Amino acid sequence: MIEQAEFDALVATYAKHGWVLRRVVLRDKTNATVATDPDIDIGQSVIDAAWFSRPPHPGPIAWEIRYLGLTPYALVEHIDENSPDFEQTLREVEVRLASGVTSKE
């Protein structure tokens, strides 16, 4: 489970490199321990992860999902936010991340 100070430091590091925290997915027991900006969407998941994005020069937007566990692990996708499959694509990437981190534990 990530501590608030660690979470805040992670968000600050990403911000320094142009990434914006867009969403957080948390397990039930973590949900009560991590506070974010009220405008950030928080969902439930089998893993703790944060979604960051940054607009590319031309084309789809880069979205990165970062695992919030002890071992740093992230996946990046370039996604068209106007696509009807946008939410489904995010869920598929989240499942891939969960599969990747659980296979390493």
Give the pLDDT band of residue 11 (cuts 50, 70, 90): very high
Per-residue model confidence as pLDDT tens digits over 16-63: 999 999 999 988 776 666 777 778 888 888 889 999 999 777 778 999
Confidence of residue 72 (pLDDT cuts 50, 70, 90): confident
If one compares 44 and 97, the residue with the highest pLDDT of the two is: 97
Residue type for 67, please? Y
Return the C-alpha torsion angle 18, 39, 81, 27, nearest 10. 90
Residue 75 has pLDDT above 90, yes or no: yes
Domain residue limits, the chain: 4-104
For residue 56, give the amino acid letter.
P
